[in-house]
Amino acid sequence: MTDDTLTEDRDERLGAALRELDTPEHGADFHRGLRARLAAERRPLWTRRGVRLGAVAAVAAAAAVAVLAVGIPRTQRTPAVGGPRPASAAVVKAQLRKALAGMRTLQGVLVASGPAQHGTERWRFVLDSAGDVRLEGPRAGDVITYDAAAGVARSAQHSASTGADTLFYARRDGVAPGPPDPGPPTWPLPDEFADFVRAALAAGDPAVRETTYLGRPAWRLDVDTVPNRIVPELSGDRFRVTVDQETGMPVQVVELKQGSVLRELSIERLRVNEAVPAATFRLAFPAGAEVMRSDDGFRRVGLAAVAGAVGYAPLVPVTVPAGYRLAEVAVAREGAPTGKEGGNPQSQQVVSLSYRRGLDQFLVTTRLRGAGPWSDPLATGEGFVDHPQRVRFDAGALAGAQAELLLTPRAVPHVWALTDRLVVTVGGDLSRGELLQVAGSLQPR
Amino acid sequence: MEIEPNVLARARRGDQRAFALLVRHYDPGLRALAYRLLGDRDRMDDALQEAYVRAYRALPGFRGDAALGTWLYRVAYNACMDELRRERQVVPLDSVRERADPRPEPGELLEIRRGLAGALARLPAADRAAVLLVDAQGFDYRSAAEILGVPEGTVASRLNRTRALLRRALDDRLEGASER
């Protein structure tokens, strides 16, 4: 029988009897525990999916757009240099890549405003090339810090559900360096902006014009987009992204609907490469404060200790793009399920290698394959159908393995593969060629 | 009752009050599914807490290409299956007793419920989920297939064999009750 010939029916009598079966209420601590866990996850109103971007991420919504744009493989064009004529997207991308790859620290204030934003909100942000993040706001007292080397996220957040002035303190240990494992708490990035800009750049050259922003030379990209299906009335049909020419940082993103501004994101007081004390990324809790603690299970170790910890030799790239260095090695005996809606088996004996270059990041992860069926750990999810490209490696640890490459605006650019024993991912701020090069050079060490 | 688009929009942007409204809206159905899959209230709570956190994390990426309810049920179903895969003391589902309704109720009706719950508990979890989603919760085959991650035809075949067993259990109990 095929699905086309299915005759749907429902057994109403059986259904009624099943509905009569008792279902217990939640335990007394359920909602309190859930509130605490959500408070630890709490993100500002502008946010992104919890994947992609590692550090850069973070902060500047606009910056996210930039970084995403950098990751897009596309036909290179001869850059338009100088003069008042429109620049090509390639010029902007080149400048963004240069800015992000060379950046050590980035600080500023992210401002979100506009009719669809219900008022103006501000977040102070600090991030560095080690992956550390500090985010303050939008209310006084709200702070999130992430200490990448230790894998510890700390937060003091007003609880939206338990009282206006109640601060929830949370410490999350053992945080994975990044996708496909749940990484640091999410940050105020408008993923839809990033997605649309990335999609537009991938599809062709959006119009790029010379302009000024706050008296500084800038580029302006105009990108048409399709409004979100859930809330079309609150979702724009065009984005206007302004990129500072000198720093390469996007400094403003405006979402428009039929020519009217819905939302505006901008960065104020942008500071680049200023020294930041290490304590910035380790929030200190008040003495005696009740702190909700959780542990994702990832432990930072030296590369030499990985095999002893997980029972197999880690797969390490022999070649990485210029400027990248191994920044973090983390292992976990057990990790959260990956893939669409967490549909993959529980992750076992996970190794996550984080490579960084300025604010760029890519990750190589492995986990035991076990007996369960696996789908792409970095799949787009939520009803989307990905169209990965099958790839074959002739050498290295992935030689002969079933492998796929996925470059799509809504997901981390990545390669994933199944070897006889392992599930392997390589994903992050890499071009198509770089992804294949890194994945093809993996060797047990 | 449907969720207001504005609530969903706010939840997508991290508003916990809005997310709490979503949880409140879908929780009764999800509890019913999770409890019948896991057979234990503590495990049900563990799985649903995990599911809600996963959903909260993933909600910003939710664009409405799937129905929200379908998507949330899939997240919860996957969390329940993860919970089932864990190695821990498992409460035999046969031993799940139907609690007596506090209101006065004929003993036969309670017996019927126990019989049906026992028959349901003896089924594979995936079969249980199919009949709970379609017959008890009213999902169409396509949505149930999305939730379970299988083709519609698989849903239909699971329903065929599952309904036969459950109808038999229900009828046996009803006959037994009428003979007394």
Quote the CA–CA distance of B98 and A167 in Å, as a whole number.
Answer: 41
Closest chain A C-alpha to B143 CA, distance in angstroms: 11
- Show residues of chain B in contact with A230, CB under 8 Å: 5, 8-9, 12, 62-64
Q: What is the mean pLDDT of residues A100-120?
A: 78
Quote the CA–CA distance of B52 and B38 in Å, as a whole number.
Answer: 17
Quote the CA–CA distance of A256 and A234 in Å, as a whole number.
Answer: 10
Closest chain B C-alpha to A10 CA, distance in angstroms: 5
Q: Nearest chain B Cα to A232, which residue?
A: B5
Q: Nearest chain B Cα to A184, which residue?
A: B57
Q: What is the mean pLDDT of residues A110-127?
A: 79
Q: Per-residue pLDDT tens for A227-254?
A: 655 555 556 777 788 887 877 777 788 8
Task: Return the closest-CA partner of residue A29 out of B42, B24, B55.
Answer: B42
Other Cβ atoms less than 10 A from the Cβ of A227: the count is 17
With residue A167 as reference, give the H or E element that holds it. strand A167-173
A-B interface: how many C-beta pairs under 8 angstroms?
A: 186
Among A363-372, A406-415, A420-429, which is the least confidently predicted range?
A406-415
Q: Per-residue pLDDT tens for A154-181?
A: 988 876 555 567 788 889 899 999 999 9
Q: Per-residue pLDDT tens for B50-86?
A: 999 888 887 876 766 667 888 899 999 989 988 887 7
- pLDDT for residue B87: 53
Residue A186 has pLDDT above 80, yes or no: no
Q: Which one of B26, B33, B57, B77 makes the best mutation probe of the A interface by having the most chain A beta carbons within 10 Å? A: B57
Task: Return the closest-CA partner of residue A166 out of A253, A15, A39, A331.
Answer: A39
* A77 or B90: which leads in pLDDT: B90
Q: What is the mean pLDDT of residues B152-166?
A: 91
Determine, for residues A48 and B60 on separate chains, whether the beta-carbon distance falls below 8 Å.
Answer: yes
**Residues whose CB is less than 8 angstroms from the CB of residue A357 and which lie 6 or more positions away in sequence, other chains included:** A101, A321, A323, A324, A325, A429
Q: Which one of A1, A22, A53 makes the best mutation probe of the B interface by having the most chain B beta carbons within 10 Å? A: A22
Determine, for residues A20 and B113 on separate chains, whether the beta-carbon distance falls below 8 Å.
Answer: yes
Of A14, A23, A37, the CB nearest to B53: A37
- Show residues of chain A in contact with B52, CB under 8 Å: 34, 38
Q: Nearest chain A Cα to B55, which residue?
A: A341
Other Cβ atoms less than 10 A from the Cβ of A151: the count is 26
Residue A217 has pLDDT above 60, yes or no: yes
Q: What is the mean pLDDT of residues A417-430?
A: 94
Quote the CA–CA distance of A1 and A3 in Å, as a whole number.
Answer: 7
Determine, for residues A14 and B167 on separate chains, whether the beta-carbon distance falls below 8 Å.
Answer: yes
Other Cβ atoms less than 10 A from the Cβ of A299: the count is 15
Of A11, A42, A230, the CB nearest to B135: A11
- pLDDT for residue A101: 72
Q: Which one of B49, B103, B170 makes the best mutation probe of the A interface by having the most chain A beta carbons within 10 Å? A: B49
- pLDDT for residue B138: 93
Do residues A59 and A194 touch, judged by C-beta distance below 8 A?
no
- Show residues of chain B in contact with A191, CB under 8 Å: 60-61
Distances (CA, A) of A104 to A56, A356, A376, B87, B133: 11, 11, 33, 45, 52
ipTM confidence: 0.84
**Residues whose CB is less than 8 angstroms from the CB of residue A103 and which lie 6 or more positions away in sequence, other chains included:** A129, A272, A273, A358, A359
Q: Which two tokens stand for residue A8?
A: 């749907």
- pLDDT for residue A307: 96
Determine, for residues A41 and B53 on separate chains, whether the beta-carbon distance falls below 8 Å.
Answer: yes
- Show residues of chain A in contact with B5, CB under 8 Å: 230-231, 233
Q: Which two tokens stand for residue A360?
A: 């760029």
Alpha carbons within 13 A on the beta-carbon side of A298: 32
Instruction: Give yes or no for a cis peptide into A180 (omega within 30° of 0).
Output: yes
- pLDDT for residue A75: 25
What's chain A's average pLDDT?
78
> What does the DSSP assignment read for B103-132?
S---HHHHHHHHHHHHHHHTS-HHHHHHHI
Of A21, A25, A186, the CB nearest to B116: A21
Other Cβ atoms less than 10 A from the Cβ of B172: the count is 14
